[in-house]
Amino acid sequence: MEIERKYLISQSDIPFDPAQYPCRRIEQGYLCTNPVVRVRRDNEEYFLTYKSKGFLAREEYNLPLTREAYDHLKEKADGRIITKNRYVIPLGNGLDIELDLFSGRLSGLILAEVEFPDEDTANAFSPPEWFGEDVTYSPRYHNSTLSQSKEPYSYGSIL
């Protein structure tokens, strides 16, 4: 079970240099968006992932892939491939911020995700002041939806 909250972030509001923190380069494509079935390259690891419907809490299953399997399946992606740098920033109390800075057609989009051990902790969470709009319950900020967008991203735009 994945339990997370997601926030829209403005580059000018980030009070530190993300490059000070560990970074992973992520590339992912969607084989299906309903239900969500994606392939992901996370640095040099490869996965096939299924995600159930939902917003705050969703079932998620990850299966490892070889690079060859990933490359083959990526060619079957419906929509465009999403690329982003993910910076992992410790938040305290065992929580981390996963700060995603998108590139390509989604360049300029920044999302912060925080994963929680349970829904009560997620619902009680008070985000840092620099976090923007809570988009946890907005389907337009699901990566599967973003992969279908034909237009370049601009901050605050309706995707």
What is the spatial distance between Cα 126 and Cα 157, in angstroms, rounded to a whole number?
A: 25
* 30 labelled catalytic: yes
Burial class (CB in 10 A: 0-12, 13-18, 19+), 154: exposed
39: helix, strand or coil: strand
How far apart, in whole angstroms, are the C-alpha atoms of residue 121 and residue 114?
11
Peptide bond into 152 cis (omega under 30): no
Q: Of the listed 30, 46, 70, 141, which one is catalytic?
A: 30
**Taking the mean position of all CA atoms in its chain, how far away is CA 32?**
16
The two tokens of residue 42 are 């996370």
- Active site positions, annotated: 30
